[in-house]
Amino acid sequence: MTLTNISNVRDYIKNNGEFVNRILDRYLPPAEQDPSTLHSAMRYSVLAPGKRLRPLLALSSYEYCGGKTEGEDIPIHFAMAALEMVHTYSLIHDDLPCMDDDDLRRGIPTCHKKFGEAEAVLTGDALHDVAFHLMAQTGSTQACMELAEALGTNGMIGGQCADVEAEGRDITKEEVINIHTRKTGALIRCSVRLGAILAQADKDLLERLTVYGEKIGLAFQIIDDILDVEGNSELLGKNVGSDSKKKKATYPGVVGIDQARKDANKLIEDAVACFDKFDNNILKDLAIYIGQRNK
């Protein structure tokens, strides 16, 4: 499968990624404002270089559903920033010594390494909170609920909990799919859905994009597992080989690396198949991009 237009998707990611950075900068409290350590830590973790995949998925889904992008501080902007902030909050808490105990993230020391453990807990909490403040500014309680569900015990936190509990023991393919679907998949699915919801997509379109979001969400985490085995630490901005060191439940650990690659490709194909063959669009390209990513 090839990208319909490789330079097109690269440009989209680059230009809109820069736009995401600008709104994140605008919606984060200034570092010099009290409590400045906390605000500095929030900015340090959120503004570190990232793919901005979740905001980009929300935006492209929103545009695909005909949402209007004119104007500043419109609901989709709030949702995009909220998605990146909750993603960052989850990384900060997952990296804590009592969780995954990671030192490196997005190419820089993790939040607790830089600011200490207490500040890192509070920084994650504060970002979690700012995210809901932003979501409320969309004016849509449905959108707020959507995010809360994706983050909750049926979604991301439930997946992280199952992940911690699965460490060091043998698990089945079904279990690892269940963990990945919740831990990573739920928020990616939610990003796509939020774009559609804020663009007031009809039920059929929302359901089709939900399937797309589920497929790329699982594919994304399988590829994350593969990159932890085969990837380049410098490109990834985090240590590789840490999953096997921690005896983490990984997809290639259960089915082997070749099968993992095949299954990820099949998920990307399924995601692309959510659109008509002749319907060339950014969501389709983003799916293929996810399938081919090396960072």
Least CB distance from residue 112 to a copy of itself, whole Å?
8
Please compute Rg for the chain using Cα positions: 18
Check if the beta carbon of residue 22 is closer than 8 Å to that of residue 47: no
How near is the Cβ of 160 to a copy of itself at its closest, in Å? Answer: 6
How many angstroms separate the CA atoms of 137 and 245, rounded?
Answer: 42
Q: Nearer to a copy of itself by C-beta: 3 or 122? A: 122
Q: Pick the binder of a copy of itself from 5, 6, 10, 116 (CB under 8 A).
A: 116
Q: Is 139 in the site for a copy of itself (CB under 8 A)?
A: yes
Separation of alpha carbons 187 and 266, rounded Å = 21
Q: Per CB under 8 A, does 118 bind a copy of itself?
A: yes
29: which DSSP letter? P
Span interacting with a copy of itself, options 7-15, 60-68, 126-134, 264-272, rule CB under 8 A: 126-134
Q: Which helix (H) or strand (E) segment is 159 a member of?
A: helix 156-166
Token pair for 25: 């900068």
Closest separation in Å from C-beta 104 to a copy of itself: 20
Strand (E) positions, the chain?
104-105, 108-109
Q: How far is residue 152's CA from residue 43's CA, in Å, rounded to a whole number?
A: 24
Q: What is the identity of the amino acid at 224?
A: D
User: In the complex with a copy of itself, which residue's Cβ is closer, 148 or 205?
Assistant: 148
How many chain residues touch a copy of itself (CB under 8 A)? 48
Contacts 24+ apart (CB under 8 A), 100-104: 100/242, 100/246, 102/238, 102/239, 102/242, 103/239, 104/233, 104/237, 104/238, 104/239
The residues that bridge with 109 in the sheet, in sequence order, are 104
x/- mask, a copy of itself, residues 53-92, rule CB under 8 A, reads ----------------------------------------
The answer to whether residue 124 forms part of the interface with a copy of itself (CB under 8 A) is: yes
Q: Does position 194 bind a copy of itself by CB under 8 A?
A: no
Subset of residues 4 to 43 that bind a copy of itself, contact rule: CB under 8 A: 29, 34-35, 37-39, 42
Among 83, 135, 201, 249, binds a copy of itself (CB under 8 A): 135
Instruction: Name the site residues for a copy of itself (rule: CB under 8 A).
Output: 29, 34-35, 37-39, 42, 93, 96, 98-99, 116-119, 121-122, 124-126, 128-130, 132-133, 135-142, 144-145, 147-149, 151-153, 157-158, 160-162, 164-165
